[in-house]
């Protein structure tokens, strides 16, 4: 064999150099590292649903007869059912491989091409879900970061200011409830953002735990997109089903752009079955909402936690006088997995997904123990 010695790494697009691989440790490895069996892990780090899919979804996945067939590329039956669930004409709905795919698809639809057109800038409001900035960078778009306030609210006046100074159209990604704090975007703030030259992508991944979706606004607004998912409330994170509610003018472009078989048949079937099992799904949502209140109340007993109100299926606390490493060590010693964040000014936070009552007890007991032991020597 002869020929060119390729330097493949140098040929990869420059934007890719700055991206971080996303590869959380698989559960069996976590279990091995912590020395506990996998079924004893208390996994509260990814805002998953501890109750799993509804019985009907499990049953229909088990009996699914079409593994050898290609799925419906435009998910007709599922879109009809979603339309009925959210009260929006299915002509506005596109289903994706998780809402992650729809974040990417939306950005790809607007990214400027060599012949011009498109939108070059994306507004991001950190701390928030990291995938907006990730996919914007992956699509060669410029991310303009406007940090949230200490209470995690969006500084709308700063956005208005920016748009006044430079009124070119931009995409703005807003999670409501926001991840990691669980706060909702106020209606007044949304109205002010929609009045600007912005296409607002409202990410309602957790809205079932809050109520008050704006999905039904989409047909009446030109510059609003709403993203939703079956990953959280429906317990289908592993199957990857999300959907977007898009303005009619835009959705044709997205149909043309998307991969033909983006949502597999099992995923479509499970989502459809969940929508036929709404009583059970809603009962579980109610259980998680009640458990969220119990978790918040329990956490508020610890002076070293500043606990935020949440409208989602997770609760964020800022650590004060105890170090993240001490909390992580204490939790992992009990097989408890939580999500930890560090802010640019030395802030440390822990985000706890709402689990079962027994899981709440385990977390609260671990915090009580941490307090009793003085934070393991390097904290409290």
Ligand X SMILES: Cc1ncc(COP(=O)(O)O)c(C=O)c1O
Beta strands in 90-137 (DSSP E): 93-96, 121-124
Positions touching ligand X (CB under 6 A) are 47, 98-100, 129, 175, 179, 203, 205, 229, 231, 237, 242
Residues 351 and 312: beta-carbon distance below 8 Å:
no
Cβ-based nearer residue to ligand X, 98 or 335: 98
Task: Compute the least distance from the CB of residue 100 to ligand X, in Å.
Answer: 4
Q: For CA atoms 158, 164, 165, 168, give the dihedral sign.
A: positive
CA atoms within 13 A on the CB side of 192: 15
Min dist. Cβ of residue 370 to ligand X (A): 26
Burial environment of residue 275 by CB neighbours within 10 A (0 to 12, 13 to 18, 19 or more): buried
Q: Which is nearer to ligand X, 181 or 332 (CB)?
A: 181
Q: How far is the CB of 242 from ligand X (least distance, A)?
A: 4
Q: Which residues pair with 229 in a beta bridge?
A: 242
Give me the least distance between CB of 120 and ligand X, in Å please: 23
Gap between the Cα atoms of 376 and 51, Å rounded: 33
List beta partners, residue 145. Answer: 124
Residue 45 or residue 332: which is nearer to ligand X going by CB?
A: 45
Burial class (CB in 10 A: 0-12, 13-18, 19+), 189: middle
Extended strands (E) in the chain: 42-43, 93-96, 121-124, 142-145, 170-175, 198-203, 224-229, 242-245, 305-307, 314-319, 336-337, 339-342, 348-353
CB 366 to ligand X: min, Å: 23
Q: 156 or 205: whose CB is closer to ligand X?
A: 205
Smallest separation, CB 57 to ligand X (Å): 15
Beta carbons within 8 Å of 172's beta carbon, 6+ residues apart: 122, 123, 125, 159, 193, 198, 199, 200, 201
Smallest separation, CB 175 to ligand X (Å): 4
- What one-character-per-residue DSSP string does 164-213 give? HHS---EEEEEESSPTTT-PPPPHHHHHHHHTSSEEEEEE-TTGGGT---
Residue 200 structure tokens: 């607002």
Nearer to ligand X, 54 or 379 (CB): 54
State the nearest-atom distance from the C-beta of 101 to ligand X, in Å.
7
CA distances, 259 to each of 73, 94, 135, 160, 201 (Å) = 8, 12, 16, 36, 21
Q: Which is nearer to ligand X, 79 or 371 (CB)?
A: 79
Q: Which is nearer to ligand X, 170 or 339 (CB)?
A: 339
> Do 169 and 196 touch, CB atoms closer than 8 A?
no
Residue whose CB is less far from ligand X, 237 or 363:
237
Residue nearest to ligand X (CB): 98
Given the complex with ligand X, which of 202 and 299 has the nearer CB atom? 202
């Amino acid at each position: 064999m002869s020929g060119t010695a390729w330097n493949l790494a140098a040929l990869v697009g420059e934007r890719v150099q700055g991206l971080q691989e996303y590869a959380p440790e698989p559960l069996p490895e976590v279990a091995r590292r912590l020395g506990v069996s996998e079924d004893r892990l208390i996994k509260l780090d990814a805002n998953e649903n501890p109750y799993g899919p509804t019985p009907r979804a499990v049953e229909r996945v088990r009996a699914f007869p079409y593994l050898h067939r290609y799925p419906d590329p435009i998910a007709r039956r599922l879109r009809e059912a979603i339309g009925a669930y959210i009260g929006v004409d299915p002509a506005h709905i596109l289903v994706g491989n998780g809402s992650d795919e729809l974040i990417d698809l939306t950005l790809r639809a607007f990214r400027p091409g060599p012949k011009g057109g498109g939108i070059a800038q994306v507004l991001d409001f950190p701390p928030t879900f990291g995938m907006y900035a990730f996919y914007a960078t992956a699509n060669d778009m410029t991310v303009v970061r406007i940090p949230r306030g200490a209470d995690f609210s969006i500084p709308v006046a700063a956005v208005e200011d920016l748009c006044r100074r430079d009124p070119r159209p931009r995409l703005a990604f807003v999670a409501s409830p926001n991840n990691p704090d669980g706060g909702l975007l106020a209606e007044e703030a949304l109205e002010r953002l929609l009045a600007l030259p912005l296409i607002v992508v409202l990410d309602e991944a957790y809205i079932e735990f809050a109520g008050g979706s704006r999905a039904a606004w989409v047909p009446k607004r030109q510059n609003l997109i709403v993203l939703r998912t079956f990953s959280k409330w429906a317990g289908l994170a592993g199957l990857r089903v999300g959907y977007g509610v898009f303005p009619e003018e835009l959705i044709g472009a997205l149909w043309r752009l998307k991969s033909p078989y983006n949502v597999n048949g099992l995923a479509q079937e499970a989502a459809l079955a969940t929508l036929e099992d709404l009583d059970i799904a809603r009962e579980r949502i109610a259980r998680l909402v009640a458990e969220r209140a119990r978790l918040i109340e329990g956490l508020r007993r610890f002076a070293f936690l500043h606990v935020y109100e949440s409208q989602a299926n997770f609760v964020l606390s800022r650590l004060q006088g105890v170090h993240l490493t001490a909390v992580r060590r204490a939790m992992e010693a009990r097989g408890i997995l939580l999500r930890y964040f560090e802010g640019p000014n030395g802030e440390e936070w822990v985000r706890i997904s709402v689990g079962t009552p027994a899981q709440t007890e385990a977390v609260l007991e671990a915090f009580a123990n941490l307090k009793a032991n003085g934070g393991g020597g390097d904290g409290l």
